[in-house]
Amino acid sequence: MPEKKRIEWFDMKQSLGKFFQMSDVLDELLCGILIWGLICQTGLLIFFRSGAAYHSIGLWIGVMLALVGAFHITWSLDKALDLDQEGAIKKMRMYAMLRYGLVLIVLGVLMIINKANPLTAFLGLMGLKTAAYMQPFIHKAAVKMKLKKDLPKPLLTPEEVDELIREEKGLAKRETKTETEHETGGNGV
- Chain-centroid distance of CA 74 in Å reads 6
Least confident of 5-19, 99-113, 121-135: 5-19
Q: Which residue has the higher pLDDT, 167 or 45?
A: 45
DSSP character for 83? Answer: S
The pLDDT of residue 172: 56
pLDDT tens figures, 161-186: 888 888 877 765 555 555 555 556 55
pLDDT tens figures, 24-44: 788 889 999 999 999 999 999
CA distances from 37 to 10, 45, 123, 128, 143 (A): 36, 12, 9, 10, 23
| Closest listed residue to residue 36, CA positions, set 142, 124, 136 | 124
Cβ–Cβ under 8 Å, residues 28 and 74: no
Cβ–Cβ under 8 Å, residues 116 and 61: yes
Q: Which residue has the higher pLDDT, 1 or 97?
A: 97
Which string of b and e fits 113-135 if b means at least 16 CB within 10 Å? eeebbbebbbbbbbbbebbbebb
What stretches of 81-116 show up as alpha helix (H) in DSSP?
85-113
pLDDT tens figures, 129-163: 999 999 888 888 888 887 767 666 667 777 888 88
What contacts 115, CB < 8 A, 6 or more positions away? 54, 57
| Closest listed residue to residue 103, CA positions, set 68, 145, 55 | 68
pTM for the model stands at 0.67
The pLDDT of residue 174: 57
Neighbours of 28 (CB within 10 A): 22
The pLDDT of residue 187: 57
Band the pLDDT of 1: cuts 50, 70, 90: very low
Q: Is the pLDDT of residue 95 over 50?
A: yes
pLDDT tens figures, 49-65: 888 889 899 999 999 99
Domain ranges of the chain: 2-152, 153-189
The pLDDT of residue 177: 57
